[in-house]
Amino acid sequence: MTIEFSNAKIYVLNHKEDFRDRILSWYQWERRTMPWREEPLPYYIWLSEIMLQQTRVDTVIPYFHRFIGKYPDIRALAESDTEELMKYWEGLGYYNRVRNLRSTAIHLVENHEGRLPETYEELIRLKGIGEYTAGAIASEAFGEKVPAVDGNVYRVMARLLGVKEDIKERKTQKLLKEAVRDLLPDQQVGDFNQGLIEVGALICIPNGSPRCGLCPVKKYCIAFEEEIQDEIPRKKKAKEKKVEERTVLLLEHEGTYAIRKRPDGKLLGGLYEFPHEEGFYVKEEVEELVKEMDLVPLSIEPLKDKKFLFTHIEWKLKAYHIKVEKPGEMMLFEPRETIREKYTLATAFREYLEKLDEENQQTFL
């Protein structure tokens, strides 16, 4: 690591009491209201941290309320029906998260009397709980003096200490995490961790220039002093996403639509989808494809092209609304309302379901 990093770290550590006080005081007055902060039960903190992975706070809050209304504690989660549980997660995506939640809840009921363990070392052994989540639960729920370092904190600490190395590198993250560990207070450690996260979310923001004038610790920030805030953190250029073209078939028979379940163990495994095929098909090819499914097409209407982004893949979607004479014996046809209420439709296909209402057809075509 750079000499500047060492000097900056020493400077902050020499003033760490003031640094802590500034973070804690700012957090007390400026933190956002979140249900798991107002009632910091271990289960709530765990659930919220899993929901917040790859998802914005504003999106998570209504899902959180709905979820705990149905599954108010770990035992209720452990006893949940898998299909119904997936429905309560629908729209958040990354469905392995909720599968791991249920699996861990069952383990906790069977081995820990339905309670989360109170130490970082025990928490990190649980399925679906990584270093950050274990640190968040241990510090916020149980007051253990451990760091909870997410992307916000890596960014804050990199700017604070003037770190110009790639913050995606493991060795860089390790050093930044150790810097946070050295700054942790003996009391209010959960608030301190959340304070650093909140500074990253509201002030030392990921996109656009940081709002340095509002920062409670700018007097200790190397990037602010040297006016290199927009140059830090440095990241390697992300790999280009693999692009896949697919043709989606919205097969309709008298107000019912064909859906199928994706195989477990694959992308979107266990979720439902509208039938689709790899590649782009023109109208004449779609007609032949439908006939091969032992269906008789009555009309075929092209729909607006769409795209859907996964972490490493981009789907380009061309879709057709196809009315058929009768449902196939090997395919599941259900009304729109039944699909909405009963089946967990993969997010890539949910917008098609919403647009199928005849009254909205003009906005869809």
Catalytic residues: 49
CA 304: distance to chain centroid?
27
In sequence order, which residues have a C-beta less than 8 Å from that of residue 99 and are 6 or more positions away?
270
> What are the CB-based long-range contacts (under 8 Å, 24+) for 78-87?
78/102, 78/105, 78/106, 78/108, 78/109, 78/114, 83/342, 83/344, 86/270, 86/271, 86/344, 87/341, 87/342, 87/343, 87/344
Rounded CA-CA distance 360/301 in Å is 15
Nearest to 228 by CA among 166, 163, 180, 177: 163
Q: Residue 109 is encoded by which pair of tokens?
A: 């009921």
Could you tell me if 126 and 107 are in contact, meaning their C-beta atoms sit under 8 angstroms apart? Answer: yes
Taking alpha carbons only, the member of 289, 248, 203, 236 closest to residue 31 is: 203
Q: Are strands 242-253 and 332-335 parallel, antiparallel or unpaired?
A: unpaired
